[in-house]
């Protein structure tokens, strides 16, 4: 199922051209590629919430500190966890009620394979971006448990 991505306002390209930017850099393909990466990040966030076992507690409503304590996550995971939750708030999948976050309905299934395939079909030069996002998501659980920092976990895998 192709992702639904609205084209940018055509006036954008006029403004960019007037500023000296060519359509070799800013064009419809580049726009679609970036939007597909953005959708992929959202679907990774959905997948991570499920992998971290947060969907159940979030259905009842929980604050970041509650989730850290209940799930046994490291205190240093507070900011990445808040980012994850805020990403879902921005997408309308999670609501913030004071300091608590709540899932108003079950999360939609993550379509990572489909989005990655569509993104690479649109522009294969995005392959390193998808690879980096996948690696970052793969180490999220270790970071949550305090077994490693995000940088250390990610770059040890690369080295």
- To the nearest 5 percent, what fractions of the chain are helix, strand and coil? 65, 5, 30
E-only strand ranges, 4-146: 62-63, 95-97, 100-102
Predicted local distance difference test score (pLDDT) of residue 67: 98
Confidence at 142, pLDDT banded by 50, 70, 90: confident
Confidence at 147, pLDDT banded by 50, 70, 90: confident
The per-residue pLDDT for range 54-68, each reduced to its tens digit, is 999 999 999 999 999
Lowest-pLDDT range, 8-12, 37-41, 49-53, 155-159? 155-159
Which position has the token pair 């996948």?
Answer: 134
Q: What is the mean pLDDT of residues 131-142?
A: 91
Predicted local distance difference test score (pLDDT) of residue 148: 74
Task: Measure the CA–CA gap between 21 and 109, rounded to whole angstroms.
Answer: 38
Confidence at 90, pLDDT banded by 50, 70, 90: very high
Q: What is the mean pLDDT of residues 79-86?
A: 96
Tell whether pTM > 0.85.
Answer: yes
Question: Considering only CA atoms, which of 96, 87, 97 is closest in space to residue 40?
Answer: 87
E-only strand ranges, the chain: 62-63, 95-97, 100-102
Predicted local distance difference test score (pLDDT) of residue 6: 86
Q: What is the mean pLDDT of residues 3-32?
A: 86
Confidence at 1, pLDDT banded by 50, 70, 90: very low
Say if residues 52 and 141 touch (Cβ distance below 8 Å): yes
Query: Helices 127-144 and 150-158, interaxial angle, to 10°?
Result: 130
Predicted local distance difference test score (pLDDT) of residue 2: 56
């Amino acid at each position: 199922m192709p992702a639904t991505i609205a084209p940018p306002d055509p006036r954008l390209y006029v403004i960019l051209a007037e500023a000296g930017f060519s359509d070799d850099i800013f064009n419809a393909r580049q726009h679609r590629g970036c939007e597909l990466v953005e959708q992929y990040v959202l679907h990774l966030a959905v997948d991570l919430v499920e992998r971290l076992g947060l969907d159940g507690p979030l259905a009842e409503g929980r604050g970041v500190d509650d989730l850290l304590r209940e799930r046994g996550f490291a205190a240093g995971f507070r900011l990445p966890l808040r980012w994850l939750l805020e990403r879902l708030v921005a997408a309308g999948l999670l609501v913030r009620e004071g300091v608590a976050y709540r899932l108003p309905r079950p999360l939609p299934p993550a379509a990572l394979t489909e989005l990655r395939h569509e993104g690479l079909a649109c522009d294969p030069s995005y392959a390193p971006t998808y690879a980096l996002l996948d690696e970052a998501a793969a180490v999220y659980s270790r970071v949550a448990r305090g077994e490693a920092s995000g940088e250390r976990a990610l770059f040890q895998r690369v080295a």
